[in-house]
Amino acid sequence: MMRIALLGATGSIGASTLDVVQRHAERFRISALSAHRNVDALVALCRQWRPEIAVIADPALEGELAAGLRSAGLDTRATAGAQGLIEAAEGSHADCVVAAIVGSAGLESTLAAARAGKRLLLANKESVVMAGSLLRAALDQGGGLLLPLDSEHNAVFQCLPRERRDLADCGVRRILLTASGGPFRGRSRSELAKVTPDMACAHPNWRMGRKISVDSATLMNKGLEVIEAHFLFDAAAAAIDVVVHPQSIVHSMVEYEDGSVLAQLGNPDMRTAIAYALAWPQRIDAGVAALDLVRIARLGFEGVDRETFRCLDLAYQALASGGTAPTTLNAANEEAVAAFLEDRLPFLAIEAVIETCLERLPSASVTDLPGLLDSDLTARREAQRIIASLAE
Ligand code: NDP
Ligand 1 atom at minimum distance from 9 CA: 9
Please state, in angstroms and rounded to a whole number, the distance separating the CA atoms of residues 207 and 183. Answer: 12
DSSP letter, residue 121:
E
pLDDT higher than 80, residue 43: yes
Stretch 58-64: mean pLDDT: 98
What is the pLDDT at residue 223?
98
Please state, in angstroms and rounded to a whole number, the distance separating the CA atoms of residues 92 and 115. Answer: 13
What is the pLDDT at residue 169?
87
Please choose from 38, 61, 102 the residue to mutate so as to test ligand 1's pocket, defined by most ligand atoms within 8 A of CB: 102
What is the pLDDT at residue 101?
98
CA of 101 to the centre of ligand 1 (A): 4
Whether residue 108 has its Cβ less than 6 Å from ligand 1: no
DSSP of 27-81: TEEEEEEEESS-HHHHHHHHHHH--SEEEESSGGGHHHHHHHHHHTT--PEEEEH
Whether residue 124 has its Cβ less than 6 Å from ligand 1: yes
Q: Model confidence over 283-317: pLDDT tens digits?
A: 999 999 999 999 999 999 999 999 999 999 999 99
Ligand 1 atom at minimum distance from 10 CA: 9
DSSP letter, residue 150:
S
Domains of the chain: 2-148 (3.40.50.720), 151-309 (no CATH), 322-392 (1.10.1740.10)
pLDDT higher than 80, residue 21: yes
Stretch 327-353: mean pLDDT: 98
- Whole-number mean pLDDT of the chain? 96
List, in sequence order, the alpha helices (H) in 168-291: 189-192, 197-200, 210-218, 220-233, 270-279
Please state, in angstroms and rounded to a whole number, the distance separating the CA atoms of residues 379 and 188. Answer: 29
What is the pLDDT at residue 227?
98
**What CA–CA distances, in Å, run from 91 to 107, 115, 218?**
17, 11, 37
Q: Is the dihedral of CA 134, 86, 225, 334 positive or negative?
A: negative
Question: Whose C-alpha lies nearest to ligand 1, atom 4?
Answer: 11
Query: Across the beta sheet with 172-179, what order do the strands follow?
Result: 240-244, 172-179, 250-256, 261-265
Please state, in angstroms and rounded to a whole number, the distance separating the CA atoms of residues 237 and 319. Answer: 7
Q: Is the dihedral of CA 4, 5, 7, 10 positive or negative?
A: positive
Q: Model confidence over 132-178: pLDDT tens digits?
A: 999 999 999 999 999 999 999 999 999 999 877 788 889 999 999 99
What is the pLDDT at residue 203?
84
Task: Confirm if 320 and 227 have CB atoms less than 8 A apart.
Answer: no
Q: What is the value of pTM for the model shown?
A: 0.97
Ligand 1 atom at minimum distance from 123 CA: 30
Q: Model confidence over 67-125: pLDDT tens digits?
A: 999 999 999 999 999 999 999 999 999 999 999 999 999 999 999 999 999 999 999 99
Q: Model confidence over 178-188: pLDDT tens digits?
A: 999 999 999 99
Task: Confirm if 80 and 62 have CB atoms less than 8 A apart.
Answer: yes
Task: Confirm if 198 and 188 have CB atoms less than 8 A apart.
Answer: no
The amino acid present at 178, given as its one-letter code, is T
